[in-house]
């Protein structure tokens, strides 16, 4: 008896099946992407927190090694009425603090880091992002993971620095450092704005104050601090 086998039919995906597969993959990607971004953001905040505390530790170590002197050029900045100085880690705004802590001072006659110790270490970057950046003119800056400078409060008061966002004094802390996070908003104001023109009164003033407070709270949500946990 002769048995005839029919050739095995090959069948590919139909258009509908392909659309379903693509839709499933897109859905999975949509679920995974926010999780991935959240992990990345968390890692960046953790890295920024570490740098904030590293800068504080560097300042404290320098102070201990130099008879209580803080690492800044007194000719470039003056303390306010509370003996505090507000700096950033961007060249020209740090009163040479980063050069002093990294032993990169270029004026030997006015060198403050007399021991030539390196108090702050970081890999040098070829662009102004996440770490130490030296520009073509020799300016030294220190940037957070989002490409912005860190903000620094130095205090010569023995009782410690005052929270730049409030009134609490942190006893024993002569340096507070923070990053404004991925939105690069939420820097503390160091002087009251005078303003001009007519100011709202009554209900309008209350609504304006509430709106300003809400905006300020949103700007501070992703800030990273050396002295407290971020919100």
Q: What is the enclosing helix (H) or strand (E) of 50?
A: helix 15-65
- pLDDT tens track of the chain, all 231 residues? 555 555 555 556 688 878 888 888 887 777 766 665 666 667 899 999 999 999 999 999 999 999 999 999 999 998 888 889 999 999 999 999 999 999 999 888 889 999 999 999 988 988 888 899 999 999 999 999 999 999 999 998 788 999 998 889 998 899 999 999 999 999 987 643 323 334 445 555 555 555 555 557 788 889 999 998 766
CB contact at 8 A, 134 and 140:
yes
Per-domain boundaries in the chain: 50-189+220-231
* Contacts of 60-66 spanning 24+ positions with Cβ under 8 A: 60/174, 60/175, 61/119, 62/100, 62/101, 62/113, 62/119, 63/174, 65/115, 65/117, 66/112, 66/114, 66/115
The C-alpha atoms of residue 182 and residue 198 are separated, in whole angstroms, by 35
- The separation between CA 206 and the C-alpha centre of its own chain, rounded to angstroms, equals 32
**151-155, strands of its sheet edge to edge:** 84-88, 151-155, 175-179, 224-225
């Amino acid at each position: 008896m002769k048995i005839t086998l029919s050739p095995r039919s090959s069948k590919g995906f139909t258009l509908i099946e392909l659309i379903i597969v693509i839709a499933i993959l897109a859905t999975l990607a949509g679920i995974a992407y926010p999780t991935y971004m959240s992990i990345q953001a968390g890692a960046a905040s953790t890295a920024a927190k570490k740098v904030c505390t590293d800068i504080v530790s560097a300042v404290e170590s320098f102070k201990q090694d130099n008879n209580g002197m803080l690492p800044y050029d007194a000719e470039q900045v003056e303390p306010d009425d509370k003996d505090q100085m507000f700096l950033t880690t961007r060249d020209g705004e740090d009163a040479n603090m980063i050069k002093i802590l990294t032993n990169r001072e270029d004026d030997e006659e006015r060198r403050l880091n007399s021991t030539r110790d390196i108090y702050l270490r970081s890999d040098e970057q070829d662009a102004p992002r996440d770490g130490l950046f030296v520009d073509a003119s020799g300016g030294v800056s220190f940037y957070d993971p989002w490409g912005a400078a860190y903000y620094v409060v130095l205090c010569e008061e023995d009782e410690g620095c005052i929270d730049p966002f409030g009134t609490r004094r942190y006893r024993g802390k002569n340096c507070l450092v923070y990053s404004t996070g991925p939105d690069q908003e939420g820097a503390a104001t160091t002087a009251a704005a005078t303003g001009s023109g007519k100011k709202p009164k009554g209900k309008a003033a209350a609504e304006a104050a509430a709106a300003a407070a809400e905006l300020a709270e949103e700007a501070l949500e992703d800030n990273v601090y050396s002295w407290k946990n971020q919100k």
